[in-house]
Chain A
């Protein structure tokens, strides 16, 4: 079963992050708005100074996974 997936490893690339999601999501810390950084593929919460990654089109809204903007 797992071999089957590896075999078709060349899945079509995920569509980039859908900007429509900006209306659905808020920062889990401040509950404030997010902005989209297309270059880094990150959702930025200015209030929390955190940037949340988007991996394979799925926003990862976990503080532990976010990049701190201070450094």
Chain B
């Protein structure tokens, strides 16, 4: 399962396009390098501010305790890690593939005087640069969708967690209700890329974001993948009628 997959001719989704696996990471990095500065602002606009509540819900479910050590994968600008510390967590490492996102996050951490309990590392979710069993919790919020091989990222999360550790994943998911889904699709494809063009001056990146959301596995499929990586007691909660879901698994 830990395929290094070198020189493979395998293909990966990049939004609705199909690109060679080796290319996806660079493309994703391109997207986030170009949106880093305005990433959170765009999230606010696109989700009408609701992404903050979703991240709060993630931390609610995690229920941090003093001394808890968190790895936040794809944690870019520190949104999840800051909440974790404010809600009583111990320390956190933020690992992201895009240095620009990390630099932005660290700047904010320093501004909020949270820097001392946070470490910032540029790394790949599929090959984490951390020892086995070194974290109490591992979160990935709006990141797993961008990983080339989700299975490898799940296997890595499992590896770096201690026994009894918790994996939580916050990601866009599938709205079960047909009519709501149609409305949501229209909003996504008609409105979001235009807002991306207007606010971030970058239509293509936001086009990618909405396409990648539609290609991502639904709640049940993702739960099956998390279980296949070795996690136990896998469950999920839908938020905002299934626009996003939080999946949970334990390393038992």
Quick one: CB contact mask for A21-39 with B, threshold 8 Å, 1 for yes?
1001111110100000000
The answer, among A1, A25, A27, A62, for a CB contact under 8 Å with B124, is A62
Among the 9-residue stretches B127-135, B213-221, B226-234, B242-250, the one with 4 or more Cβ atoms under 8 Å from chain A is: B127-135
- How many residues does chain A have at the interface if contact means C-beta atoms less than 8 Å apart? 21
Is the pair A28, B121 in contact by a Cβ cutoff of 8 Å?
Answer: no
Q: Which of B106, B121, B127, B132 is A25 in contact with, Cβ under 8 Å?
A: B121
Residues of chain A touching chain B, judged by Cβ–Cβ distance below 8 Å, are 1-2, 5, 21, 24-29, 31, 55-63, 65
* Structural contact, B127 and A58, CB atoms closer than 8 A: no
- A31-B132, A55-B99, A58-B99 given as contacts; is B119 within 8 A of A21 (CB)? yes
Does B120 lie at the interface of the complex (its beta carbon under 8 Å from any beta carbon of A)? yes
Question: A58–B122 contact, CB under 8 A?
Answer: yes
Looking at chain B's contact residues, the main secondary structure is mixed
Give Cα A24–Cα B97 distance, bound, in whole angstroms: 17
| B93 contacts the other chain (CB 8 A) | yes
Is B90 interfacial (CB 8 A cutoff)? no
Q: Which residues of A contact B31 (CB under 8 A)?
A: none
Q: What would 11 A/B residue contacts be, using CB atoms closer than 8 Å?
A: A21-B121, A25-B129, A28-B124, A57-B106, A58-B99, A59-B129, A61-B123, A61-B124, A62-B97, A63-B124, A65-B122
Residues on the A chain within 8 Å of B128, using CB: 28
Closest chain A CB from B114 CB (angstroms): 16
